[in-house]
Amino acid sequence: MPIVTTKEMFKKAYEKGYAIGAFNVDNVDIMKAVLRAAENKKAPVIIAISSGALKFIGINYVRQVLECAMKEITVPVALHLDHGKEVELCKQCIDIGFTSVMIDASSYDFEENIRMTKEVVEYAHARGVVVESELGAIAGIEDDVVVDDKYGNFTHPSDVVEFVSRTGIDSLAIAIGTAHGAYKFKPGQKPQLRFDILDEIQEKLPGFPLVLHGASSVPQESLKILNTYGGKMPEAIGIPEAMLREAASKAVCKINVGTDLRVAYVGAFRKALHENPEKFDARVFITPAMDAITKLVEDKIENVFGSANQA
């Protein structure tokens, strides 16, 4: 099957009340493990590549590697640039065959965000590629988020219609309480998604696909394995999966996961190293790490996103 855009994926997901998993892959092994899970569960999937992963894998390798893998894959797969901070990077990815790009100009003011996003949209749409953009501040543990009104640094529903209509984007990443990284919340802080904001945005943009970033749940089983075999990630917590499932039943059609994959991969790798000290064949350690990714992604597809058997 050829690599596709997210257009039809999101349309079907919105209508049926589930979300597509966008899995951030850091290397080819993780990409293969994610694709295997999607194929096993007959689920559409998005392979998300950050700018850092793009450099690590090699920009000239990414599309060719995925094209090769697609000869054995029967489910819909989109290739997506995650958090493209520069217009030129988005254009470069479009030119080499990405089917979806995210221009993240959310750190700029509203008008500059619109200007940069619109430039990418015009370039992408002329080449059959879809565009995601972001509005609002998706936090990290280091961010000092000061909430001085009902919405604070979250996405303001009053801005979304103007932003979408002026830019022409295909999907919108919103800030409703998710956070990037493993250490999403300060000690004692309770994870909470602002479903009131989500509902307001959905009401203003009926039928329009929304996106959640920073949505790893940091499964404690994976975290325990990592820490048991030499890792040091205390008190890492994520977004409760029940909240993600509720978001997926609404207008959220794409949920990004990165941290969970890294924790599962490195934990299984560490465990294999510990259990096989006499081995020096890299496959002995990489294979269980890939298996851990596949198991995790299958669980997300089946029990969190609700996208199993939707290919």
* Residue in 26, 82, 109, 143 annotated catalytic: 82
Among candidate residues 182, 184, 185, the one with its CA nearest the CA of residue 261: 182
Q: 253 with 19: CB under 8 angstroms?
A: yes
The Cα angle at residue 292 between residues 262 and 177, in degrees rounded to 5: 45
Q: CA 252, CA 10: separation in Å to the nearest integer?
A: 9
Cα end-to-end span (Å), the chain? 12
Query: Cα-atom radius of gyration of the chain, to the nearest Å?
Result: 19
| Closest listed residue to residue 191, CA positions, set 237, 242, 148, 224 | 237
Does the annotation mark 260 as catalytic?
no
Active site residues: 82
